[in-house]
Structure 1
Amino acid sequence: MQEFSFHPGDSSNEFTHSYICCNGCKLHIVECKGLQESRPLMLLLHGFPEFWFSWKYILRYFFRKGYRAVAPDLRGYNESSKPLSIQEYRLELLSADIESLIRQLGYESCTCVGHDWGGAIAWSVAYLYPGCIRSLIIVNAPHPYKFYEAFFTFPPNWKQLLRSWYILFFQLPWLPEFFLGYNNCKNLVLAIRKTLCNSQALSPEDIEEYRKALLQPRALKSAINYYRALVRNSITSNSLRHLFLRQLNIATLVVWGVEDSALGKELTYDLDKLVSDVEVRYIPNCSHWVPIEKPQILAEFMESFLESREEAP
């Protein structure tokens, strides 16, 4: 396999930025500069509290491998539209954004890659719009029913509940915004750095980029509203819950940083009961932030999986 060097300090002037209206929202998207025609589409969906920038290494890698790799800012983040209502961050609407984005880019289907909240959306798109997804790659994001099971069945997964205390904290009004926004969001980004197994994976320049994205007007509130909408609507929706219980018939790779402090490894167990064709790969000595901390290993796992499913260009 060809070696690919990742340099955290690389300039972003190799990327092109554009805006596409999807499902009533303006989404900011980023891809590598260069010829994109006839390339298969790979969408890269970021998590909380990130933005397209967390995929910069993977964008380069798969562009060089022949993909049209595109990383959007999800609704509410960085330079994308930021609806005011909590209801505008329901999982169904977030999924419809991605289905619309695929169409607006001129494709019928894509390889969909999602980390954290991006992974939750990717799972949901695969269930709600299965024709749009050729293959699914999930990074440290539990299957939606596994997540529901951990929180809302009896007895709940008490260990996971303790890990995910912040979800309940985020249900409070204004206090989460005040706490996370303190010191112009720098403390929030530094908290991410502290959970990395390798703190050097997030450079001072990277920290400043994440901080600036979170300081965009309404960005922090919008990011927190994902969790508010999750608890108030999506995770308790009977129709969605029953949908997520059906077996998914899309080739799926799950990559998991085993030192994740927020999501337990046990959330990856027995996925074959929910997904007909699933491969689970673990990365030791890696935190929740796999695209930041271990992009080379992630890229190699992704490439190997796509080649095995004959999805590579």
Structure 2
Amino acid sequence: MNVKHHRVEVNGLRLHVAEQGEGPLVLLLHGFPESWYSWRHQFAALAEAGYRVVAPDQRGYARSDRAASVEEYSLPHLAGDVTALIGALGAEEAVLVGHDWGAPVAWTTALLRPDLVRAVAGLSVPPLPPTGMPSTGSSRRTYGEGYYQVYFQEPGRADAELAADPAATMRRLLVGASGDNPDRSWPRPWIVGEGEALLDGMPEPAELPDWLTAEDVAVFAEDYSAPDAFTGPLNWYRNIDRNQGLMSAFHGLRIEVPALYVAGDRDMVTVLEGVPELRGMLPLIAPKLHADITLSGCGHWTQQERPKEVNAALLDFLAAL
């Protein structure tokens, strides 16, 4: 994989970016708890089709700098990083593709800066403009204290549990939330049982699925080898309620650029409260919706589990712009 790595200064932080190809800029925004490497299967396909593909480690993640305070991981900060990154890369506009947390960042940036965003694609997480996610109070009422986004709010607890054994954490999360999880009760909301630890509901897998190798796990584990490596990523969740206020002025705006949504039918996000209804409203939220695609048997890690299908959907979308 002929991918170049370098660092770009964005809003006072140095972000590690991976890059391949020349042409119109396509920014790939990863989710939790991943890195640029989650897009490893997309680089060559998009670059060979004539695009400049750039995937950053977003603020607080992996090889990029960490912000000084929890408050600096708000949605406006994250969207601000994307807009600044477009300029720092010498481009006037970009197509944004986001997965998991990267999807709300992509949707929000497209919502606020259509002058910079040619088009936007979200994998797994549909657009919930302008706040990105429901408040923790709403989630607590629906799912209780064990719901993972609520569980993440306590400083230090999830940080330490995830960092105790990064390789095991990655194996358990990547397989547990995938379409290959042998527990047929999935997809379901990620809820930590009373008296349990965060990953108790995702046991160590007996074997890795075909789309995930031991080498892949090792790359992710290395990026999260520091004792506090998960704190920056978790701080994104610790701004969910702050985002409700910061983004309140933008209620009612629609995503006015061409859009694409792709999700697996075994993705836990698709069964969360309100998501099926939200998905039905996509043409109203994003009037230039190109397609709403469901991948059979695919879980949460869309572009890793189904790279050929995701690449085909992205290339079709890009060709239509």
CA distance in 2, matches of 1:97, 1:62: 23
- Equivalent runs, 1:3-42 vs 2, <5 Å: 12=1, 14-32=2-20, 36=22, 39-42=23-26
Counterpart-to-counterpart distance in 1, 2:305 and 2:85? 28
1:275 aligns with 2:308: no
Within 5 Å, give how 1:236-251 maps onto structure 2.
236-237=244-245, 240-251=247-258
Measure, in 2, the Cα distance between the counterparts of 1:146 and 1:20: 27
Q: CA distance change for structure 1 residues 227 and 263 in 2, over 3 Å: closer, same or farther?
A: farther
How far does residue 149 in structure 1 lie from its aligned partner after superposition? 7.9
User: Contact 2:264/2:294 (CA < 8 Å) preserved in 1?
Assistant: yes
Q: Do residues 255 (structure 1) and 262 (structure 2) align?
A: yes
2:107·2:127 contact (CA, 8 Å) conserved in 1? Answer: yes
Following superposition, the deviation at residue 242 of structure 1 comes to: 4.2
Counterpart of 2:239 in structure 1 is 229
Distance, in Å, in 1 between the alignment partners of 2:234 and 2:270 is 18
Aligned pair partner of 1:195 in 172, 177, 190: 177
Alignment of 1:100-139 (within 5 A): 100-139=84-123
Q: Call closer, same or farther: CA 1:157–1:60 in 2, change over 3 Å.
A: farther
Worse-matched range after superposition: 299-308 or 86-95? 299-308
C-alpha distance in structure 2 between counterparts of 1:203 and 1:227, whole Å: 28
By how many angstroms is 1:145 displaced?
3.6
CA shift digits 1:191-219 (9 cap, x unpaired)? 22122224221111111111111124632
1:292 paired with 2:287, answer no
> In structure 2, do the counterparts of structure 1 residues 135 and 163 end up closer, same or farther at CA, with 3 Å as the change threshold?
farther
Q: Does the alignment pair 1:175 with 2:157?
A: yes
Name the CA distance, whole Å, in 2 between partners of 1:307 and 1:157: 43
> Does the CA contact (< 8 Å) of 1:17 and 1:28 recur in 2?
yes
> Taking structure 1 as reference, are residues 153 and 222 closer, same or farther at Cα in structure 2, changes over 3 Å only?
closer
TM-score norm. by structure 1 comes to: 0.85
How has the CA–CA distance of structure 1 residues 303 and 106 changed in structure 2, closer, same or farther, with 3 Å as cutoff? same
- Whether the aligned pair in 2 keeps the contact of 1:195 and 1:261 (CA below 8 Å) is yes
Contact kept in structure 2, 1:253 and 1:280, CA below 8 Å: yes
* Runs of 4+ with deviation above 6 angstroms: 146-149, 152-157
1:253-287 residue CA offsets vs partner (Å, 9 max, x unmatched): 01111211244251422112211111211111100
Counterpart check, 1:99 vs 2:110? no
> Structure 1 regions of 5+ residues with no counterpart?
1-11
* TM, length-normalised to structure 2: 0.83
AA of the residue aligned to 1:66: G
Q: Residues 151 and 158 of structure 2 are in contact (CA less than 8 Å); yes or no, is this contact kept in structure 1?
A: yes
- C-alpha distance in 2, partners of 1:113/1:183? 30
- Whole-angstrom CA distance in 2 between matches of 1:148 and 1:106: 28
Change (3 A) 1:196 1:163: farther
- CA distance in structure 2 between the aligned counterparts of 1:256 and 1:281, rounded to whole angstroms: 6
Question: Is the CA contact (8 Å cut-off) linking 1:31 and 1:68 kept in structure 2?
Answer: yes
CA distance in 1, matches of 2:261, 2:319: 15
Query: Alpha carbons of 1:269 and 1:241: their partners in 2 closer, same or farther (altered >3 Å)?
Result: farther
Quick one: which of 115, 125, 128 aligns to 1:144?
A: 128
1:154 & 1:171 partners in 2: Cα distance? 14
Partner residue of 1:4?
A: none
Deviations 1:119-169 (A, max 9, x none): 1100111122111100111101131249778557989994xx479910000
Give the Cα–Cα distance (whole angstroms) in 2 for the partners of residues 63 and 41 of structure 1.
10
Deviation of 1:187 after TM superposition, in Å, equals 2.6
**Structure 1 residues 10-53: Cα deviation after superposition (integer angstroms, max 9, x where no partner):** xx5x2110111011110111012x6x3xx100000000000000
Paired letter, 2:219 = E
Secondary structure at 2:87's aligned position in 1? helix
Number of residue pairs the alignment of both structures matches: 288
Answer yes or no: is the 8 Å Cα contact 2:179–2:267 preserved in 1: no
> Counterpart amino acid of 2:230?
L
| Secondary structure class of the residue paired with 2:235 | helix
Q: CA contact under 8 A between 1:137 and 1:254: conserved in structure 2?
A: yes
Give the C-alpha shift of residue 183 in structure 1: 2.2
Amino acid across the alignment from 2:296: P
Could you tell me whether the CA contact under 8 Å between 2:130 and 2:248 is conserved in 1?
no
Give the CA deviation at 1:110.
Answer: 0.7
- Worse overlay, 68-77 or 198-207: 198-207
CA-based RMSD of the aligned residues comes to 2.4
Q: Which is richer in helix?
A: 1
